Structure 1
């Protein structure tokens, strides 16, 4: 089937196209004239998820922003927001609304508040403003003033519900953290009592940081001391000046003896000075020997003490390890207690704040033009619907009552080649000119003859 054939079919059955089109246009005009006008007002709210929380300092990750906005949209269209809105606008005390509820439920009654809230939800739509952190609350009503007022009420109820939810959540979190802190405190006290019992039983006492006192004492004993060689070097250094002076005195004395003689008073004086220096050198050597012997005794005593301290440390290693395990558990419980108390304080502070994380943007403007009925849209839809119905009706009728409307269609139908096409001759005008009765008159007389 070619487009030219479709055009011929539509033109031949143009009445089947025009009738649905006219009917749809009339229906659209009727809807435009009769349908009540509906006005839509919008209120915007800024979601402050970009800034960190003033108490906890947490920020919503970028991957969770879409989920967060979706949850906020669902919250606005939930019963927890729509219920207070229905109560504030007086819907729960409206006789007309109560009568509509009775008519809708058949007088069986039920949850009237939820039914009224669902009516608010049905007229509310929420969407995100593109490329921003704003969401737009839209409400549709038959009155522009009512639409603006209810949109503003929905926004206020949403902010208050969010703030109340944050407070309840913070209170619950604070109570939970206080319970965790109390549990950590009890466990901390039990561990401290158990540690004290072990210290009393084993005689092992750990210093701050879980350091064993005996281990620390062993470390001080094993610190690098002055060795015997070092002390001998120090002793040699102590008697070194006397030996140098003695050597110089010997050299001077030999020179004087050679020049002045052994009995010269100067030589005798130098001999006396040399004897004094020799006595000092002998005393220094004696002190160095005593120092060396004392150093050796100290080293032996220290080695003995180190060995004894090592044995003591090794013998109580198991008790020290047990106490260190208890000390680590006590440190963990102490940190857990401090963290739980800190979080509980933060949640208590958050529960008393007036920060909801939401900010109203601008005032709700009373709409001046209705969104429904929309004449251009209705007329366009009616034209499209009428044409679709008419075209489909024509094609279905043509399929049920096939006719040959072109030479190509005839060739396909009979399988022969068409040699010529005769033009259509209007016989009605010639028959009227010759005085022949019209088709209507002939059919009339035929019906009269059949009924006679």
Structure 2
């Protein structure tokens, strides 16, 4: 349908369209006028998610994720917060509300749950885009009541947030206290075992004592090496004393043997000198022979005594060597025993240290949990308190009437179009050509104004008769506005 045809249609059906438009405007106006005014109070809170926790000293990772704001919105609209609002406002003692609950539910269910459901239906909590602010709104028939409910809701939300933080800390504090007592008992038992073991084995500083014993073993090892050298040397001299005692350094260096050897040489020289003049049986020769024999005996005896001294020295060296070896073996056994004691004491010391670290860690956690359990601040701050709104939020008279006018116009146009489609009329020459599918012979003079207004009733029947007439041999004449054909 072209615009010109639609305008002709609307001109013909204007009374119906006007009636529909007027009915829509009147109905919307009446509903708006009769509707009870409602007031919406609004408060705003801001969440600090970037500042470090004052107790832990770090930014909690859960506060930086995108789901944190969604979680807080769920907390705001939770039944737990709503119950706090009901208790703070004393709604459970309101007789009118209890009567309404009796009438609505017949006394079935929980009165508090019914109040909570009613509050949540009129509550709206929305986050501000690209920020950490939450806007809380409540709608009621009384402006003062709406503001009181919103402010109570903000206080209940802050208290619930603090409780959600403090309650786990209190539970953890009790757990850490009980576990800390157990760990302290274990630490005391470990320290008692270590002290008992040290007293039983005479240990004060195991590492220092082991170092002293290691030094003593090193000294004994040095003595063993020296004694082995001395024993080898004394063994060589003992063998020499057995084979060639007169060539021993001790014999050659002995002054007594040296004097007797010198004297023996002098007597032997005299014996050789007198032997050239006197015979062997001469008294002087015999006297010299006796002296020489005595000196030789004495030199042999003295040499034997020196050799016996070397044997005794070798025996002493061997005995000292054996004693040193035995002392080294005993020192080694003692050192191994001390190392075993040190290892066992080290195990006990590690048990004490582990028990102390576990106790210190639990003690630190218990201290932190105790501080958190007494916290009075949250990361939620009130940015805007709710005040009684001066104007109602609904109904919006101007908006409703504007919408009613627009909707009325659309419904009026739709009604006129639907009536035209159900009751089709010939209103223009195009309707004759397209609707009747007959050639148009002409337009009678004096009816041009009726064509513009639309031909109805008799005009339609006349146009049909003209179109149905004999068309053979007729020729359509040129048409001009206001001309005859």
Superposed CA deviations along residues 260-315 of structure 1, whole A, max 9, x for unmatched, are xxxxxxxxxxxxxxxxxxxxxxxxxxxxxxxxxxxxx9xx99xx689948993899
Aligned partners of 1:370 and 1:424: how far apart in 2? 64
Aligned partners of 2:347 and 2:4: how far apart in 1? 95
User: 2:397 aligned with 1:375, yes or no?
Assistant: yes
* Paired residue secondary structure (1:348): helix
Report if the CA contact (8 A) 1:205-1:212 is conserved.
no
User: 2:348 aligned with 1:348, yes or no?
Assistant: no
Taking a change above 3 Å as real, the CA distance of residues 378 and 220 of structure 1, as seen in their structure-2 partners, is farther
Segment of structure 1 superposing worse, 63-72 or 345-354: 63-72
Deviation at 1:115, TM superposition (A): 1.0
Deviation at 1:370, TM superposition (A): 1.3
Matched with 1:361 is 383
Report if the CA contact (8 A) 2:213-2:331 is conserved.
no
Deviation at 1:44, TM superposition (A): 2.4
Taking a change above 3 Å as real, the CA distance of residues 408 and 161 of structure 1, as seen in their structure-2 partners, is same
* Paired residue secondary structure (1:52): coil
| Superposition RMSD in Å | 5.1
Deviation at 1:101, TM superposition (A): 1.0
Matched with 1:118 is 117
Report if the CA contact (8 A) 2:217-2:332 is conserved.
no
Aligned partners of 2:415 and 2:212: how far apart in 1? 104
Aligned partners of 2:434 and 2:193: how far apart in 1? 106
Aligned partners of 2:24 and 2:345: how far apart in 1? 92
* Paired residue secondary structure (2:64): helix
Can you give the 5+ residue segments of structure 2 that lack an aligned partner in the other structure?
226-320, 451-456, 459-485
Matched with 1:74 is 74
Report if the CA contact (8 A) 1:40-1:370 is conserved.
yes
Taking a change above 3 Å as real, the CA distance of residues 426 and 121 of structure 1, as seen in their structure-2 partners, is farther
User: 2:97 aligned with 1:97, yes or no?
Assistant: yes
Matched with 2:166 is 167
Aligned ranges for residues 330-341 of structure 1 at < 5 Å?
A: 330-341=352-363
Aligned ranges for residues 394-433 of structure 1 at < 5 Å?
A: none
Aligned partners of 1:35 and 1:55: how far apart in 2? 53
Aligned residues: 354
Segment of structure 1 superposing worse, 366-375 or 180-189: 180-189
Report if the CA contact (8 A) 1:28-1:378 is conserved.
yes
* Paired residue secondary structure (2:392): coil
Deviation at 1:82, TM superposition (A): 1.8
Report if the CA contact (8 A) 2:138-2:150 is conserved.
yes
Aligned partners of 1:156 and 1:353: how far apart in 2? 16
Aligned partners of 1:219 and 1:413: how far apart in 2? 130
Matched with 2:48 is 48
Matched with 1:134 is 133
Aligned partners of 2:171 and 2:414: how far apart in 1? 64
Taking structure 2 as the reference length, the TM-score comes to 0.56
Taking a change above 3 Å as real, the CA distance of residues 8 and 346 of structure 1, as seen in their structure-2 partners, is farther
Matched with 2:108 is 109
Superposed CA deviations along residues 307-339 of structure 1, whole A, max 9, x for unmatched, are 94899389959x93x775665454333222212
Deviation at 1:161, TM superposition (A): 3.0
Taking a change above 3 Å as real, the CA distance of residues 221 and 37 of structure 1, as seen in their structure-2 partners, is farther
Superposed CA deviations along residues 330-355 of structure 1, whole A, max 9, x for unmatched, are 43332222121222122222222322
Aligned partners of 1:137 and 1:379: how far apart in 2? 29
Report if the CA contact (8 A) 2:210-2:335 is conserved.
no
Report if the CA contact (8 A) 1:215-1:313 is conserved.
no
Aligned partners of 2:203 and 2:419: how far apart in 1? 106
Aligned partners of 2:337 and 2:429: how far apart in 1? 118
* Paired residue secondary structure (2:125): strand
* Paired residue secondary structure (2:152): helix
Can you give the 5+ residue segments of structure 1 that lack an aligned partner in the other structure?
229-296, 431-437, 440-452
Report if the CA contact (8 A) 2:55-2:372 is conserved.
yes
